[in-house]
Amino acid sequence: MNSVRIDRQAIRRNYQALAAQLGGQAQVMAVIKADGYGHGMVEMATILQGVGASHFAVATVEQGVLLRQAGIRGRLVVLLGGLAAEISAMQSYALEPALFDADQFAQFSAAAARLPAPLPVHLKVDCGMGRLGFNPAEVGAWSEKLRAARGLELVALMSHFPSADGDLELTRRQNEVFGRCLATVRSHHAGVKAHIANSAATLLGREFHWDLVRPGLALYGCYPSPDPQWRHTPLVPAMSVATTLVQVEAAPAHKGVSYGHLDRTSRPSRLGVLPLGYAEGFSRRLSGGVGQVLIRGQRAPVMGRVCMNVTVVDVTDIPGACRGDEVIIMGQQGNDQIRAEEIAAWMGTINYEVLCLLGKSMPRHYFN
Ligand SMILES: Cc1ncc(COP(=O)(O)O)c(C=O)c1O
């Protein structure tokens, strides 16, 4: 009844469009944490490996282990670093943690000293995100400490942009700070790689690409901002979400609909029932006409409160709508399309959250 459809070809095309931006200078490290932003982590890695991706970023050691068990061969970076207790698993499964904190550094260098071979690590510097990472002023000292830490092998310097989707000047300044940190680190560790660009910075241009770029959102076919200036690179949304009308019934004027009677019909109406609600990621914030769905190529607004597994929509203006009709929650139907960005605006959130919510709660079907 409910299905999340994932277009493999869209993922391949988005990867290729991003790789083309790099002009052979840098490589893509595909960010597939959060179950591939709701698209399926293992499936995304498998598809991307098939078109040449050789670097992946996940959040946790557990995710990295799952990828290895599924036969993913590329380099796997653990963005949240993992725990010192997981260090032998990291080595066994060839996972490369990000190092971003003094306590973590102390624990990791002690634990790694007992490993049979050095563990590759990515040193993270905070160029302005205000989240994880060493202070740029101290990066030289940490890089020297890494030289002394025999169990750890520095393979890359990394950082993360907070506003690449909206503030080019700030992003340029942060990129310069990153460049200075890199020069310092390379004076101790020649040949260290560098990566800082998320989707937005990847789309912005080569000055942000360094050796590797780390796009997530763009791989799945979404732009970092609704501003049309980002559309120079063709991206195709890979996820669509469909369900089926399980009931269509006539309702008199003034009939209260769903919990709390948030809405009442304003006229003799026809109401359709969808077998999905907030448990399937169709947020309660879409209640009361905020959200819409597509039926027979036309928009049907949500009536009343979205429930746990049930949502009512107004199909009065959609002639012939009946039980069994396909309903598009996100995606194209006829000449109309509901994108993740539109749902995000209704919900007061961002397209990232829409993909994660819808993608994780319903069975996924892959095609192409
Ligand atoms: C450290 C890091 N790098 C890269 C990304 C990818 O960002 P985006 O999905 O905006 O491309 C993320 C996503 O949250 C991240 O946390």
Q: Which domains does the chain have, with CATH numbers?
A: 8-221 (3.20.20.10), 239-367 (2.40.37.10)
Q: Per-residue pLDDT tens for 92-140?
A: 999 999 999 999 999 999 999 999 999 999 999 999 888 899 999 999 9
Specify which residues 238 forms β-bridges with. Answer: none
What are the pocket residues of ligand 1 if the criterion is a CB atom closer than 6 Å to any ligand atom?
31, 79, 160, 198-199, 214-218, 224
- 37 annotated active-site: no
Given 255, 259, 360, 366, which residue is catalytic? 259
Amino acid at 54: S
- Chain centroid offset of residue 364 CA: 16
Residue 229 reports pLDDT greater than 90:
no
Residue 345 Cα to ligand 1 midpoint, Å, equals: 21
Question: Whose alpha carbon is nearest atom 8 of ligand 1?
Answer: 216
Specify which residues 125 forms β-bridges with. Answer: 134
**Residue 72 and residue 64: Cα distance in Å, rounded?**
9
- 259 annotated active-site: yes
Rg (CA), the chain: 24
pTM summary value? 0.94
Amino acid at 205: G
Q: Per-residue pLDDT tens for 344-354?
A: 999 999 999 99
Residue 213 Cα to ligand 1 midpoint, Å, equals: 10
Q: Which of 44, 209, 214 to mutate to test the pocket of ligand 1 (most atoms within 8 A of CB)?
A: 214
For residue 339, the model assigns a pLDDT of 96
Q: Which of 18, 28, 31, 352 to mutate to test the pocket of ligand 1 (most atoms within 8 A of CB)?
A: 31
